[in-house]
Amino acid sequence: EWLTASTIKFVNNWLLESPVSLKFGLWEEPPSVELLTLQERDIYISYPPGAIIPIYLISLIKNKFPSPGLIMTFNLINHFLNVFLISLIIYYFLTFHKIKWYYAVFLCIGPILLFIYLPSNLYWFQNVFFADQAIILYFVIFIFLEILRLRAKTKTKRILDLLQGLVLFMGVLTDWFMVFVSITTYLKRIITKEVERPLQKAGAFFLPIIIGVVIFFIQMLSVDGFEVFKNRALLYLIYKNNIREIDFIRKFFGEYFIDSYGIFGLIVILIGILFIFSLFLLNIKLRVNYKKLRNDFITNSFSLLFITIVPCVLHFLFFQYHAYEHNFDALKYSVPISLSLIILPLIPF
């Protein structure tokens, strides 16, 4: 796949010249006497360079250039870590709500098998590695830390908040999807009354995202990348204005999504969205006191599905050009589908 080839190309350039001398840029061309300046070598500026950092460090330690085999091995380990963390999310979530540990272990089996054998996961986690694949692990780690906050004391929550900040920082330097994860999580905390004085505390929560974005813009300034960035933004606007909204939806959900998860996956996501929307409206009407429902299964199910499904939908709405062009954008939906498989059926009980 061309994305894996791009990862190898970018890492090779870093190994040949060092990331510092290349200003941590993802340059399309290797050093050459025909290309006298960095700007002549063309830079990939759509995303920060975080996705290739693990491959670069491994290659640096091994003192050899990365191969497709190395990246495939790393990506399969990435797949395993995602599966392991999803099983922990489900286990901790269920045991927190007084479900016996052996039932919780048994109920983890379905989502584990689903996340392993979903067609999109089997293909992308074996053959392709770049930002859209790398961000899934940060997404799952962040959700796991959020679940741990359910039973955490005040001091432990502070540690978890620091860890979440680190994950947000590394995540936003990998893929812009993490911006939507952070926004959705903080909105969830406001809805469920987990945070008092939300406007005052928003700065500390979003600081890692802000720092990551500022670093990216400083990098763009250092490599004269704003012109490239502006041209890509204009291309996006032209592309978007020439395609009807329904065509974006039909292409992504009617083709890419169905190819990845089948009609079953689409139904699961739609039921999850319906549950979130219905419960949100119902709670507004009933003026629910969330502080009294911190241990309530339905309330916490709403929270879990909200922070997994909504970021995916927001990312699609804001990056429709990316979703329209790249079928691997559907990969992130494997997380809410796997979690919804066990959460949604348990809600009636």
Q: What is the pLDDT of residue 47?
A: 87
SS3 43: strand
Q: What is the pLDDT of residue 313?
A: 93
Q: What is the pLDDT of residue 286?
A: 58
Task: Answer for the pair 52, 7: CB distance below 8 angstroms, yes or no.
Answer: yes
Q: What is the pLDDT of residue 244?
A: 67
pLDDT by residue, tens only, the chain of 349 residues: 678 999 999 999 999 988 998 889 898 888 887 877 777 778 888 889 999 999 999 999 999 999 999 999 999 999 999 999 999 999 999 999 888 988 989 989 988 999 999 988 999 998 899 989 999 999 999 999 999 998 888 889 999 999 999 999 999 999 999 999 999 999 999 888 888 888 888 999 999 999 999 999 888 888 876 777 777 666 666 666 666 667 778 888 888 999 999 999 999 999 999 998 888 777 766 555 555 555 588 888 989 999 999 999 999 888 887 787 888 889 999 999 999 988 988 887 6
Nearest to 75 by CA among 141, 5, 4: 4
User: How does 295-305 read in b/e, with b if 16+ C-beta sit within 10 Å?
Assistant: eebebbbbbbb
Distances (CA, A) of 91 to 117, 192, 201: 20, 22, 30
Q: What is the pLDDT of residue 282?
A: 73
Per residue, the 3-state secondary structure of 195-255, as one string, reads: CCCHHHHHHHHHHHHHHHHHHHHHHHHHCCCHHHHHHHHHHHHHHHHCCCHHHHHHHHHHH
- Distance (Å, whole) CA 31 – CA 343: 52
Token pair, residue 315, equals 């990312």
pTM of the complete model: 0.92
- Distance (Å, whole) CA 125 – CA 343: 25
Token pair, residue 94, equals 């269920």
Torsional sign, CA 252, 255, 261, 262 = positive
- In terms of phi and psi (left: phi > 0; alpha: psi -120 to 50; beta: otherwise), the region of 278 is alpha
11: Cα separation from own chain's centroid: 22
- Distance (Å, whole) CA 233 – CA 231: 5
Contacts of 339 (CB under 8 A, 6+ apart): 86, 89, 90, 111, 304, 305, 308
